[in-house]
Structure 1
């Protein structure tokens, strides 16, 4: 399947939430309460981060993408707590926490997650965090307490030199995503000292079900003159939706469950995804949500399944402003370990996400892994031996002035 319009779906998944184990006897009305000021700031931070990350990832010009900004935001927020000073400042800017102190951000993360897990008993959502650290290392008590209190994270040692330990992390991710995300982590490098992991699982039925017998192959136009055949679902009876239109694009909300959650769709009048992406800003999304009006309509939309894995988000996060922590430096993770360590850095931020949309509803899962490693240093056990056994450049210079008197290179002594 080719270009499916997913931008607003990605953002709306940030707010789609529930409790696991919901059933038909669950309450019809959502469990809504007023959000505290710091919780609203957290929502704004999540949304700004989601849109900024989407715009950054769009630069890759991949036709299809899918990710969970909530999962990535949670994993990096946990990681933030191991830092202070200028490194912490970069995390705060990246995560759009400028309006919050670190303590307020952690508290808001906890309470917003709790709100999402309780707000709709008919929608399934699980959000879980875990931290594994190198066996024999001592994690500072405040970091452990913060991770457990605000992120409900499991914190445990792991024998990272055992090749089988990778299965411990992968099994946890698989269990937390209802089996959708498997074998996410390929290998644990010998210098790994910590893994900070978030997993999220979501499942919800449409408010208005599509009849599977009416799904049929129809064209999906990737450009004015090109199309592909897709399984197109049909809602032949008019149902209630919310939408916002301009001369250039349309914004549609397709409700799930009780109608508290929805799939947002943003489409242009043409087929250019770049033009659609340009319209997706925090300010515009806020406007569309506020100005959307209710209307009745029939609906046709593609049935699809999409998986997208990013093996390392390092480059994208650096471009977004999180730079220092990806290079070895003594200022990194100063609040992480109480035992002495060599310089630390984040080596990889791995993200894997999957979504399936069918006649009944949507099922989605994602996981984010932050890998922290220690600089590899092997102290010599005796006198070092230096071997010059490959082509080299040489010169004769005067020490005090630095003047170079002679210069040359030796590429093949056999030709002398």
Structure 2
């Protein structure tokens, strides 16, 4: 990725003032984003988390769900914490699936800390929080090195928990609810007697569009699930054209819809026969599209929608991606979690829950990931209409670093 390219885009994009567009705030309210060039290890973390995001996207496309939404960043963070409890061949498997090629464990931890800090501080007008917590069975003693690492690199809260107490479920659920602004509730159903640790990530995002939609323009309109199947949606429409980065290739269109100061955006990929054309879509493809996209004046029409998507058995997908050893009980699993000897351990569940709401003002999104560890026992300069009236993939990303925070697919709004 050309870092200079992203820095230039990030620096100059806010300078294009369109008087005909409804800005997300007055000129007096505009703030300066905290831009700087990414350090090499931060860029490596962007590559790792984004490649993992696209790997997971391809795996989840094998499901029949027409609508999906999740946070690959959240899943990556939770698994990265779990990675620190391992060594040897198990650590290597985590390393490969999380795409930390060429990075040591220490380098990956340092990069996770640094990139998260950068994303949290980037845009003062965007509400973003990323939080981590770990609970372990209070009868056990956490490995001091593991505890120090997750506290320092992931800013994780670490605490013992009486897992035999039925109210312990509420402790974890309440933490998730508090760290997702109440959007993710009652995520964990029960704590099995064999559970010894929960590694949890929560992420929350809220931002106004840079160019807002006029709610008076929102109306019922057709959405083409297929050329033959049409459903009705609440379609939002802009009054005037606005500058947005756009790229077209082989029947697909890529669009960046900016939030706030323009340093976060909703990336969109749409086109006919979308699932087939994206079968081999990779991070390298996305990088190329970002670099080749150029500014076009567009009058955007897009659906207003709210989606919740929960995956109770994400472990099946992760195993298909190559993370197998941690899910099978073995004495070589999680040898660095506890100071005291234990029976063989394994990941029994990976649960992910996510929600997004898109309206005329902007987007609000939240997600949480639970890792449960158990014991055995381009467009023209003239304005044109860009209508998202057929299935599309979308993701919330940082324009400066390229980090992908959330991903989803809207295939059939009638099923929401």
TM bucket normalised to smaller:
0.7 to 0.9
Aligned residues of 1:30 and 1:121 also touching (Cα < 8 A) = yes
2:206 counterpart residue number: 203
Q: CA RMSD in A?
A: 1.4
Give CA deviations for 1:217-241 in whole Å, capped at 9, x if unaligned.
0010111122100000000201110
Structure 1: gaps spanning 5 or more residues:
1-22, 377-416
CA distance in 2, matches of 1:293, 1:165: 51
Decide which of 255, 258, 263 is 2:258's aligned counterpart: 255
Give CA deviations for 1:36-88 in whole Å, capped at 9, x if unaligned.
11110100001100000010011012101110000000000000000000000
Aligned residues of 1:219 and 1:229 also touching (Cα < 8 A) = yes
**1:26 Cα deviation after fit:** 6.2
2:335 counterpart residue number: 334
1:18 counterpart residue number: none
Give CA deviations for 1:301-351 in whole Å, capped at 9, x if unaligned.
000001100002111111111101101100001111111211100000000
In structure 2, do the counterparts of structure 1 residues 295 and 335 end up closer, same or farther at CA, with 3 Å as the change threshold? same
1:283 counterpart residue number: 284
Aligned residues of 1:26 and 1:122 also touching (Cα < 8 A) = no
CA distance in 2, matches of 1:316, 1:152: 27
Moved more, 166-175 or 219-228: 219-228
Give CA deviations for 1:335-374 in whole Å, capped at 9, x if unaligned.
1111121110000000000000000000000000000011
CA distance in 2, matches of 1:368, 1:273: 28
Decide which of 184, 191, 195 is 2:194's aligned counterpart: 191
Q: Matches of residues 391-410 of structure 1 in structure 2 within 5 Å?
A: none
CA distance in 1, matches of 2:253, 2:337: 47
Decide which of 175, 178, 181 is 2:178's aligned counterpart: 175
**1:108 Cα deviation after fit:** 0.2
CA distance in 2, matches of 1:241, 1:292: 9
1:114 counterpart residue number: 117
**1:275 Cα deviation after fit:** 2.1
Aligned residues: 353
CA distance in 1, matches of 2:245, 2:281: 18
**1:278 Cα deviation after fit:** 2.3
- TM-score normalised by the chain length of structure 2: 0.83
**1:34 Cα deviation after fit:** 1.1
Structure 2: gaps spanning 5 or more residues:
1-24, 378-416
- TM-score normalised by the chain length of structure 1: 0.83
Aligned residues of 2:134 and 2:156 also touching (Cα < 8 A) = yes
Aligned residues of 1:353 and 1:366 also touching (Cα < 8 A) = yes
Decide which of 43, 47, 61 is 1:40's aligned counterpart: 43
CA distance in 1, matches of 2:245, 2:294: 5
Q: Residue 217 of structure 1: SS of its match in structure 2?
A: strand
CA distance in 1, matches of 2:29, 2:353: 31
Q: Residue 239 of structure 2: SS of its match in structure 1?
A: strand
Decide which of 63, 66, 69 is 1:63's aligned counterpart: 66
In structure 2, do the counterparts of structure 1 residues 228 and 98 end up closer, same or farther at CA, with 3 Å as the change threshold? same
1:137 counterpart residue number: 140
Aligned residues of 2:350 and 2:370 also touching (Cα < 8 A) = yes
Which structure: larger Rg?
1
1:343 counterpart residue number: 344
2:319 counterpart residue number: 318
CA distance in 2, matches of 1:119, 1:246: 31
In structure 2, do the counterparts of structure 1 residues 26 and 150 end up closer, same or farther at CA, with 3 Å as the change threshold? farther
Give CA deviations for 1:82-123 in whole Å, capped at 9, x if unaligned.
000000000000100012110000000000000000000000
